[in-house]
Amino acid sequence: MILRNSCYLPNKNSEAAKSMSGHRNIKRRCGESHLESPAGCGHGPAAGCVLSKLVQLPTPPLSKHQLKRLEEHKYQSAGRSLLEPLMQGYWEWLVGRVPSWIAPNLITIIGLLINIFTTLLLVYYCPTATEQAPPWAYIACACGLFIYQSLDAIDGKQARRTNSSTPLGELFDHGCDSLSTVFVVLGTCIAVQLGTNPDWMFFCCFAGTFMFYCAHWQTYVSGTLRFGIFDVTESMLCTIAIQLLTGTLGPWFWNYTVKRTLMLPGKQWHGLSRDSTFVMHIVTGI
């Protein structure tokens, strides 16, 4: 009996071992299947999948032909604006004070961030573009615009000065300019309280972006960036002046009612006109 029982013991142990190994194989296969399908592995992989979709670019990357065109691109400009010769001396002096180890793209991004920050101050105080912000907020926005305009003018000079001028750097510069255009127009609309007329506000925002697009579309077609008599430098200085006037006189200045006298033969008509856009009506006489 002892021998028979001893003979059967290995069989029982072998069956138990087979069942245990079977359970281990099933668990191993289940683990492998979970690794192969991230959606069923809990919240971690699923969250990673969602995050990868969020950071995915809305447009496909540049093709080989586009990369080649970008590498062969050379910056060319034509024409001069009215105030550019006067500002060139200041820009040359400013770029001479910048250390040579500072990258041109760093200059560009610093100017953009300053412009965005000072404009967001106005957005914080005037969320509907109908409120009145503290005077220092308008003056800070004017200073931010001047700093941005100065740094945007010297980043290319810094690139040529340090022999680091590349087509990709120009693309980065103009990309920051396109983003800054939105904040420049928005800050101007807030300064003149154009939120009281949403249609005009939309038109001004659309016009600023559309003009920037047309200028670069012309550059894309002709290969040359052309400047007019009244161009970016003049428009930026006018925007700075608007912010300074709003900070010193108040937003009501742009809604000021001016008495206008119209002289006709034998008659004199007096009227009131209200201008809620950028410039007051001028007292006229015919």
134's CB contacts (< 8 A; 6+ apart) are 125
Radius of gyration of the chain (CA): 33
Q: What digits encode the pLDDT tens for the residues 2-30?
A: 444 444 444 444 444 444 445 445 444 44
Provide φ and ψ at 261, rounded to 5°.
-110, 125
Can you give the pLDDT at residue 51? 56
Q: What digits encode the pLDDT tens for the residues 155-199?
A: 989 999 998 888 888 888 888 999 999 999 999 999 999 998 899
Q: What digits encode the pLDDT tens for the residues 87-108?
A: 999 999 999 999 999 999 999 9
**Structure pTM?**
0.68
Q: What digits encode the pLDDT tens for the residues 218-244?
A: 888 888 888 888 888 899 999 999 999
163: left (phi over 0), alpha (psi -120 to 50) or beta: left
State both tokens at 40: 């069923």
Can you give the pLDDT at residue 282? 36
Whether 174 sits among the annotated catalytic residues: the reply is yes
Please check whether residue 186 is in contact with residue 119, taking contact to mean a CB–CB distance below 8 angstroms.
yes
Could you give the CA distance from residue 117 to residue 98 in angstroms, rounded to a whole number?
22
What is the largest distance, in Å, between two alpha-carbon atoms of the chain? 143
Catalytic residue of the set 73, 174, 270, 281: 174
Domains of the chain are 23-55 (no CATH), 78-254 (1.20.120.1760), 256-286 (no CATH)
| Alpha-helix residue ranges (DSSP H) falling in the chain | 2-36, 43-54, 64-72, 84-96, 104-125, 135-161, 167-191, 198-222, 232-249
